[in-house]
Structure 1
Amino acid sequence: MKRMKAVCIPLVMGLLMTACGSKQDAAQDNTQNTTPTTTQDVTAPAAEPGNDASPSKEVTLKIGLPGSYDITSEKIIDGFQAKYPNIKLEIDEAPWGDFTKKIVTRIAGNNPPDLWFQENAVILGYGQRGVAENLEPYISRDLKTDDYVSALLSAKTPDGKVYGIPHGINPVALAYNKTLFQANNIPVPTDDWTYPDLIETAKKLTKDTDGDGKPDIYGFQTGNNITSGWLPWMKSAGGSALDPTLTKAMFTDAKSIQGLTNWADTINKLKISPTRELAKTGKLFENGKSAMVFLQYSSQVSLNKSSPDLDWDTVKMPIGENGKRFVPMVVNDWIVYSKAKPEAKEAAWTFLKYYLSDEAQGFLSESGASLPVKKTAMDAVANLTFKPANKLAYTKGVEEAGATLDENPSWNEWRAAANPILDDIMDGKRTPADGAKEIQSKVQTILDENQ
């Protein structure tokens, strides 16, 4: 089996603007029909859902892999090529940062890959701008959505368009150091824990071991980002960053401010968590310096590699004040370029159907890079041998309460405006109430400009 690799548009050191295709290819029609192509020359008939409409003739499919094979299992690429030898793959690999910086230029030059993946919120923005193909007709034609968890449609818009298919799900759970709990004779966390349970136990585990008046071991390590930091605390208090329509900021809502207060208090008032600056100095959870942390699923890969002897496990995210659980999940989505040739679009969809198959979803699970979206593969994750032992904290957590991060097409923009103020709140330089007022104004302005 031979896998083709792009030589005219390498991505190893960044995406270049040199086109491999002809000038005619680069100047193709910008208004391709979004209906799945079923012409006789390209595909088999696909009038009924479930028909295999994969290209019957040889076609080249250009796939972009940000993060290369560290994020996308090479077994998936090999498995697809073996199953569909008529679809010749040109693989563009690049470190994640290089890819995401250069893809904007590639899109502007009408020269991106036919298929690649990025964050869910970015994909929603691509859909709004006409860059991403609407995959809803393909899904309706070929998939049984009941076979997949709800995250399959993470990139679905209010008007029913679907601009991406999940590359994988990366949810959050509460990780804990079993050794520190045992040494202090404290019962380990359970799925029934609330946020007050977390706080009270963290107080007991915070220790000044050398008598200098400063903790050497912290009961909890508070995150400073949206995924494992301020948003879970905000949601736990019944607040939210945006309203259900994702068009109105909610930072000055009383419950949102309470959540921000609880979050910042873990550092500035209760002192059960290291400061943001201290957390930057080392891997505190890995080194046994913090007893608990909100941990994204993919982080276990590096954690198990760097600290193989660390005795740790996970439980579901704590229950909020309203009795509900919020499980943050990051979803990266595959995008089909809307201006790709019709035969390339159908080839891309054939790849995505394979990616969603039991075989490929199993390869994804084995890699540990993220969770699958097919239910059969998700159920099998519990049997994987790498830590944590209790992977149900992630899989059942997603099933019960998995949710994306108040994402809309301007997500990256409004987060960038809010982050410096949130850092000040975390550092104790501003009160949550005062900071929330400024965030509210900045975020709402961005939301209004993008409507």
Structure 2
Amino acid sequence: MNEFRRRSLLGAGLGLGALAATGTSHRAEAAETRMAVQWFGANDRAKRTFAVIDLFEKRNPGVKINGEYGNSTDYWQKINTQIAGRNGPDVFQTEPNSIADYARRGALLALDPLLGKAIDTSGFSPEMLDLCRIDGKVYGLGLGLNSFGMLYDSEVFTKVGMAPPDEKTSWDDYAKLSVELTKANKRDGWFGSCDGSRYSHALNVWLRQRGKDLFNNDGKLDFTADEAGEWFSYWDKIRKAGGCVPADVASQDQSSIQTMPLVLNKAGLALMYSNQLVGTQDVVPFKLGLTVYPNGGPGAKPGLFYRPALIWNMYVRGRNQEMAAKFVNFFLNDPEAVKILGVERGVPMGQKMRDLVMPDLNELERKTVDYINFIADKVGPYPPPQPVNSNQFTNIILRAVADEVAFGRISPSEGGRKLINDTNAVL
């Protein structure tokens, strides 16, 4: 059994009860310079991350890192349990929709005293540091730059003789395209599109094109029940016309690469993130294409924005913060580590590291960089930090609302009201 498999099984098999029960051994390990690092993502990300961990251990004799990963649903449950028990990992991964929540709950270490010292941020512009600044302090460092991106099965479009979506595709065009693609492919159990009603990130783009956002500067929802109802109605019409996967297929989607209808070969279009092109191509047999989300039509505002694809954070009660800072610095700035990571977590933030990886990128990885450059004139301002408990919004829209609408248990308008009420109840 190789090291990657051994660590993968450790991450998947270590239950929450076991974590709570091993507090004594963790304290003993801390004296031996042991450190815990956790993240979520697909196998390609795990392979790259474990390779960097191995390199870090080689460069730092006597240091042992317990690396663990899992799908996003299990990951957040585990992190929340650990933090509630004051036993969080030394370094762990968040993303733009969750960092503010953890920072404001006091779970993250403010990194400002470490910046420019233990952690070299000379390659970060002030604007990039601001992407992880919450209430005046920097609580994390972006591991790469990305944005929202539509992935699609390019081979199926060639097969049926249809043009794939591009930057000129509107939401109305997307609806028609999804239905036409289902009909043209003529395959049982296969549909043109995923069910985008379930994705908070897709709703975010749609709202921003209308001058709104998920949350405003006061930490309140920035859209109305009627607007949410219109969103669910849009997808309900596509579903009933056969353009997107039905409820029983959509409900199996955990918003992870492995469970996406596109990856399961049950849909041709997916509303994802640009950096996921690499990890998704790694697990599908067909060639993928990448383009922007549907546009909002004439006069619409930009729906896209640059974002830190993923973020390293340090636990405020970490057992070895000095070594944790050294690891984060190594991950971001060591040339060999940066080359191993490539663009799977997004395009490197600093130009020096971006230039370093470019010569080694394959055609697919270069598409990710090209996409980030392509949307430069299509992005809007970065949204306000999200409020405490806002990370529950993703599960609310998935399970409590979108699935209920898809199964016909509530109407789209009822779904809009439920999304507002259920979210307000936890904020």
Query: In terms of Rg, which structure is larger?
Result: 1
For 1:193, the aligned partner's letter is: T
Code of the residue aligned with 1:195 in structure 2: it is W
> Which residue is equivalent to 2:235?
263
Q: Is the 8 A contact 1:61 1:348 kept in 2?
A: no
Aligned to 1:65: 38
Contact 2:229 2:412 in 1 (8 A): yes
Residue equivalent to 1:77: 53
CA contact (8 A) 2:198 2:403 kept: no
* CA distance 1:442–1:105, change in 2 (3 Å): closer
Q: Which amino acid is 2:235 matched to?
A: W
Q: 1:249 aligns with which of 221, 226, 230?
A: 221
Contact 1:175 1:315 in 2 (8 A): yes
Asked if structure 2 preserves the Cα contact closer than 8 Å seen for 1:172 and 1:394, the reply is: no
Equivalent of 2:25 in 16, 20, 23? 20
Aligned position for 2:367: 390
Cα distance, 1:135 vs. partner? 0.9
Q: Secondary structure at the match of 1:240?
A: coil
TM-score (norm 2): 0.74
Which amino acid is 1:201 matched to?
A: L
What residue in structure 2 maps to residue 291 of structure 1? 268
Distance 1:104 1:255 in 2: 31
2: CA distance between counterparts of 1:288 and 1:99?
A: 25
CA contact (8 A) 1:220 1:273 kept: yes
Listed as ranges, the gaps of 5+ residues in structure 1 are: 27-57
Q: How many residues align?
A: 397
Counterpart in the other structure of 1:113: 89
Aligned to 1:89: 64
Looking at structure 2, the residues matched to 405 and 72 of structure 1 have their Cα atoms a distance apart, in angstroms, of: 31
1:314 is the counterpart of 2:290? yes
Sort the Cα spacing of 1:256 and 1:436 in 2 relative to 1 into closer, same or farther, 3 A.
closer
Tell me how far 1:410 sits from its aligned partner. Answer: 1.0
CA RMSD of aligned residues (A): 4.1
TM-aligned CA distance change 1:151 to 1:408, over 3 Å = farther
For 1:175, the aligned partner's letter is L
Partner of residue 326, structure 1? 304
2:340 is aligned with 1:335: no
Map Cα deviations across residues 374-422 of structure 1 (whole Å, 9 max, x no partner). Answer: 3444564696326477324643367553867973321223444444123
Equivalent residues of 2:88, 2:317 under 8 A apart = no
**1:20 corresponds to which letter in structure 2?**
S
Tell me: CA distance 1:110–1:205, structure 2 relative to 1, closer, same or farther (3 Å): closer
Q: Offset of 1:348 from its aligned partner?
A: 1.8
Q: CA deviation at 1:79?
A: 3.1
Preserved CA contact (<8 Å) 1:234 1:256: no
Change (3 A) 1:304 1:421: closer
How far, CA to CA, are the matches of 2:209 and 2:21 in structure 1?
46
The alignment partner of 1:401 has SS state of coil
Deviations 1:208-237 (A, max 9, x none): 676xxx986533323343255444344444
Indicate the residue corresponding to 1:421 in structure 2. 401
Q: How does 1:425-440 map to 2 (within 5 A)?
A: 425-440=405-420
Give the CA deviation at 1:187: 2.9
Query: Is the Cα contact below 8 Å between 1:121 and 1:408 reproduced in 2?
Result: no
Q: 1:84 to 1:438 in 2, by over 3 A?
A: same
Q: Distance in 1 between matches of 2:304 and 2:150?
A: 12
Q: State the distance in 2 between where 1:225 and 1:259 align.
A: 10
Aligned-partner Cα distance in 2 for 1:216–1:104: 37
Shift of 1:354: 1.7
Contact 2:208 2:302 in 1 (8 A): no
Question: Which of these residues, 143, 167, 171, is aligned with residue 191 of structure 1?
Answer: 167
Q: 1:383 to 1:174 in 2, by over 3 A?
A: farther
Task: Name the structure 2 match of 1:38.
Answer: none
The question of whether the paired residues in 1 share the 8 Å contact of 2:275 and 2:309 is answered with no
Look up the match of 2:388: 409
1:86-235 to 2 correspondence within 5 Å?
88-93=63-68, 95=70, 100-139=76-115, 143-144=120-121, 147=124, 152-157=129-134, 159-168=135-144, 171-207=147-183, 218-227=191-200, 229-235=202-208
Shift of 1:363: 1.9
Contact between 1:414 and 1:443, CA under 8 Å: does it hold in 2?
Answer: yes
Identity %: 19
Q: Which has the higher helix share?
A: 2
- The structure with higher relative contact order (CA 8 Å, sep 6+) is 2
Q: Please say if residues 133 and 337 of structure 1, whose CA atoms lie closer than 8 Å, have aligned partners that are also in contact.
A: yes
Distance 1:209 1:351 in 2: 48
Stretch of structure 1 that moved more, 279-288 or 104-113: 279-288
Mapped to 2, the partners of 1:195 and 1:276 lie a distance apart of: 21
Q: TM-score scaled by structure 1?
A: 0.71
Question: What is the deviation of 1:440?
Answer: 1.8
Separation (CA, whole Å) in 2 of partners of 1:313 and 1:302 = 13
**Does residue 425 of structure 2 align to residue 445 of structure 1?**
yes
User: What is the rounded CA distance, in whole Å, between the counterparts of 1:289 and 1:370 in structure 2?
Assistant: 26
Q: Is the 8 A contact 1:66 1:94 kept in 2?
A: yes
